Amino acid sequence: MTYTSAKAQNEAIEILRGYSGTNPYYLMLKRDVILKGDVKKLNAFNVEYIIENQNFVPKQIGKTIKIADWYGLKKQQDWGTEFVPQKLRVVSLLGETNTTYHCYVQYRQSVDPVMAFLPKKAVLTNFTLPDWHDYPVDFDRYDKLSMSKDPNRKLKSYQKEGVQFLLVRKKCILADQMGYGKTCELAVAAIEGNFDAVLIICPASIKTNWKKELMWYVPERDITIIESYLDKNKGELEKFLGYKEGKSGLSIAELQNEAKEVGKWGENRFVIVNYDILDEFYQIPETRSKENINIAYQNSPLLQYISGKKSLIIIDEAHRLSNTTSGRYKIIRDLIKRGKPDSVYLATGTPITNNPQNYFNLLQLIGDPVADDREYYLKRYCNAIEIPRNAKEKAKRDAISYKFIANHGKKTWYELTDSEKDELREIVKKSVRMMTIPNGEGNLDELRDRTAHIYLRRVKEDLKGLPNKTVHELFYDLNMEQTMEYNRLWEEYEAAQLEADPTKEVNKDLLEGAIYRKYLSNQMVPNTIKLTDSFIDKGEKVVIACCYDEELYALRDYYGDKCVIYNGKISAKEKDANVERFTNDSNVKVLIGNIVSAGVGINLVAARIVIFNNISYVPGDDIQFEDRVYRITQTKDVDIYYQIFKDTQYEKMWDIVLRKSLVINQIVKKEDEK
């Protein structure tokens, strides 16, 4: 609704005219607008407040909340206090708009409550949500079902808490560390929530894990795993659809349409689909016209499945949605927007994989108010800067700036006064199309407080009886020959860049990582072999992390039958078989995995040693890989070995990863630290 329209104003007047409640702000507006005829009081904010809160029942709150520093400074001026308020006690909630809470608050116990409109951006503690700890769930029911199949399988106390959290929060992030049993918590919450349709989106490698987890509590007939139809030939499609090969009488296009139809699985309560095939079952409207929306709906079985029902979407390994430009992110965001599910559960052990911007993307999917204003979020928490959208806009900005500086008798920007700089900024803002881009991070404690209510984070270190995990850093020197080759790579790169653009400033720190990383990862292989062999000689199994196929295959060739591999080039069946061999075959001593491919959904507790031949720039990827062996079923102490060549880009990269990890850990805290 547009609150500046005459229709909205007339509606607000009629509401005030008939109001007989006790809300002091309504009574004040009724006096001014109805009795005194001062319609100027009906600005857009007041119209919104009147319309949105006409049936609101005031609530007693009695909670102390944190507020942002900038708002504390403002209230110090408004209230004339000798201190900057950092906390307020919310006595009662009178109403709210899209951007504010209307409350009675106290900034000191000795003063009477005052009425205030608190900007939601300034409120760091969500005081409107109910407590989830005492939410009633009959967990005995689920234990009886699982124990009928395995007498030792019962829900653990922390898993019960996870189920309660999910059911009360409804749109939230389950951020327990990897190996904590999140799938079980999500499955029980999905069943207990009495949803008519539960759509589970996850990596392809863990679709069968999800089915197995659900089958502890529900019959197999209630579960469907959706498979790709585009990668099947005609015979495979016929078999997939229940026809005898060559007997369907249908073309491959007709068979594909039948495989796509929601009728094949639309009545099932649980549907599991992998990220990679979402576009086969969902179409984003090309335009917002009614015709295009209808066409997209007809071509979107996933949307048909959740629409018009009490529905839940579970997104497992949700950190894979950190890129908003990816097709999968756009599809899922559109599905949530158009399908309007009752609940959305995101599950990831690394909700922030790289920086606060990644976190924004997940917050946006669950509709948290923190993500309502992207520009504010980027400026407040990502130290964002504004730059021209393209070269044309940059040239326009430069021309405006040069003219402004010359007209003020100056030669450079730095000679302008502060007021002149502000004036120029305003001129540029009105004339040049700008875009906001992240440039680091800031106000992380505030971000942590503003989002603490939407995630549940428990770490394995807090579990009694769990083995220890120790991270080791091993530093090596390049020999003379390696150093010469390393420097030659840089010189060739620099020469090629300058040849393409002689005016370009070439910065070694900005060199594309692949050039150095591939070289250094290949040079690291002998060190990895030496370290791995030392553990094999002691009877250990070892998991090795790689980033590139070249290093992975070099290690595979060395270990031969004593190893298995796990990367994106092998089929799902091969992946499962290789994990099974590594787990159960005493002759297989080594699993060599790609950090991303082998970083989710697999259990490698047959080993307690992880050796990184290479590392990812994204800390979340490295942590995910570590925790393939550090899980709640691990019985031995775990040792993680990161290997770094000193005085190389590799060492700088490791320093960057460590710094990013500190940022991540500052934002997302475990439950008892919030």
Of 218, 270, 229, which is closest to residue 252 (Cα–Cα)?
A: 229
Are 626 and 610 a contacting pair, CB within 8 Å?
yes
Sheet containing strand 87-96, edge to edge, reads 59-66, 87-96, 100-106, 114-119
Give 36's contacts (C-beta < 8 A, 6+ positions apart). none
Q: 32 — phi, psi (to 5°)?
A: -75, -45
DSSP state of 125: S
Give the pLDDT of residue 670: 61
On the 0-12 / 13-18 / 19+ scale of CB atoms within 10 A, 340 is exposed
Give the pLDDT of residue 499: 60
Are 588 and 520 a contacting pair, CB within 8 Å?
no
Q: Which two tokens stand for residue 242?
A: 């229940």
**Sign of the alpha-carbon torsion through 384, 388, 390, 391:** negative
**Distance between CA atoms of residues 249 and 599, nearest Å:** 43
Give the pLDDT of residue 262: 67
**Distance between CA atoms of residues 560 and 588, nearest Å:** 10
Give the pLDDT of residue 673: 61
Instruction: Please name every residue paired with 476 in a beta bridge, in sequence order, or none if there are none.
Output: 645
Sheet containing strand 638-645, edge to edge, reads 469-476, 638-645, 609-612, 542-546, 590-594, 563-566
Segments of the chain scoring below 70 in pLDDT: 1, 262-263, 493-514, 669-674
**Distance between CA atoms of residues 216 and 224, nearest Å:** 15
Give 31's contacts (C-beta < 8 A, 6+ positions apart). none
HSE-CB at 368 with a 13 A cutoff on CA atoms is 30
CB atoms within 10 A of CB 661: 15
Any idea which residue has 């403002």 for tokens?
74
Q: Which two tokens stand for residue 187?
A: 């499955």
**Distance between CA atoms of residues 86 and 75, nearest Å:** 10
Q: What is the fold of 469-673?
A: Rossmann fold (3.40.50)
Give the pLDDT of residue 49: 95
Give the pLDDT of residue 498: 56
Give 574's contacts (C-beta < 8 A, 6+ positions apart). none
State pTM to two decimals.
0.82
* DSSP E strand boundaries for 300-414: 311-316, 343-347, 385-388
Of 66, 127, 169, 180, which is closest to residue 455 (Cα–Cα)?
A: 169
pLDDT tens-digit series, residues 537-558 = 999 999 999 999 999 999 999 9
Enumerate the domain spans of the chain. 1-55, 59-129, 170-226+270-372, 227-264, 385-437, 469-673
On the 0-12 / 13-18 / 19+ scale of CB atoms within 10 A, 464 is exposed
Encoded amino acid at 361, one letter: N
Give the pLDDT of residue 513: 52
The CATH number of the domain covering residues in 170-226+270-372:
3.40.50.10810
The two domains 170-226+270-372 and 469-673 share their CATH topology (first three levels equal): yes
Q: Which two tokens stand for residue 340?
A: 């309007």
Are 174 and 319 a contacting pair, CB within 8 Å?
no
Give the pLDDT of residue 530: 97
Provide the mean pLDDT of the chain: 89
Q: Any alpha helices (H) in 148-245, and if so which ranges?
A: 157-169, 182-192, 207-214, 234-240
**Distance between CA atoms of residues 403 and 309, nearest Å:** 60
